[in-house]
């Protein structure tokens, strides 16, 4: 799939039924307990696409797993099925990392905190400037 800009990803998420709002550098699109954060900017594709869900690790990860395939498709992440398959193998882990094509994929779980949850972040390795929120 050809890369698309962050605004097109947010529009696609909105069209898919997500409720989207802007929070500084990110657009946050929520569907049920899971949210997709898209770093804004004029890059050829979003430098960061991040999925989050609150709650116990297994529940939060399951909520991310439900929306992950469609979110990757909407964001035009090539090799999305490899990411989905890999994510499905992370049960019981608190951190994991994978490189797929030009994407660095990082999974982390917060357990003994005030806001437990799971996070899956895809970072574009080709991005050279303004690649992270301040």
Whether residue 95 is contained in a domain is answered as yes
Do the Cβ atoms of 77 and 38 come closer than 8 Å? no
Q: How confident is the model at residue 89 (pLDDT cuts 50, 70, 90)?
A: very high
In degrees rounded to 5, what are phi and psi of residue 32? 65, -140
Q: Residue 53 — pLDDT band, cuts 50, 70, 90?
A: very high
Q: Which domain holds residue 90?
A: 6-124
The DSSP symbol for 133 reads -
Residue tagged 């982390």 (tokens): 108
pTM more than 0.95:
no
DSSP state of 55: S
Does residue 1 fall inside a structural domain? no
CA–CA separation, 17 vs 64, rounded Å? 16
pLDDT reading at 48 higher than 70: yes
Q: Answer whether residue 39 is part of any domain.
A: yes
d(CA 115, CA 134): 22
Mean pLDDT of 55-84: 95
Residue 130 in domain: no
**Mean per-residue pLDDT for 30-34?**
95
How confident is the model at residue 133, as a pLDDT? 61
Number of domains, the chain: 1
Is position 129 within any domain?
A: no
Whether pLDDT at 134 is above 80: no
Distances (CA, A) of 74 to 8, 13, 118: 9, 7, 21
Rounded percentage of the chain residues whose pLDDT exceeds 70: 99
């Amino acid at each position: 799939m050809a890369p698309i800009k962050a605004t097109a990803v947010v529009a696609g998420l909105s069209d898919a039924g997500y409720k989207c709002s802007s929070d500084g550098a990110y657009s946050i699109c929520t569907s049920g307990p899971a949210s997709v954060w898209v770093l804004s900017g004029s890059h050829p594709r979003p430098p960061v696409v991040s999925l989050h869900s609150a709650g116990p690790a297994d529940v939060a990860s399951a909520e991310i797993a439900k929306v992950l395939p469609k979110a990757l498709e909407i964001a035009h992440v090539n090799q999305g099925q490899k990411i989905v398959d890999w994510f499905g193998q992370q049960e019981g882990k608190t951190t994991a990392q994978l490189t797929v094509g030009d994407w660095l994929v990082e999974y982390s779980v917060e357990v003994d905190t005030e806001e437990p949850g799971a996070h899956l972040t895809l970072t574009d390795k080709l991005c050279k400037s303004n690649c992270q929120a301040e």
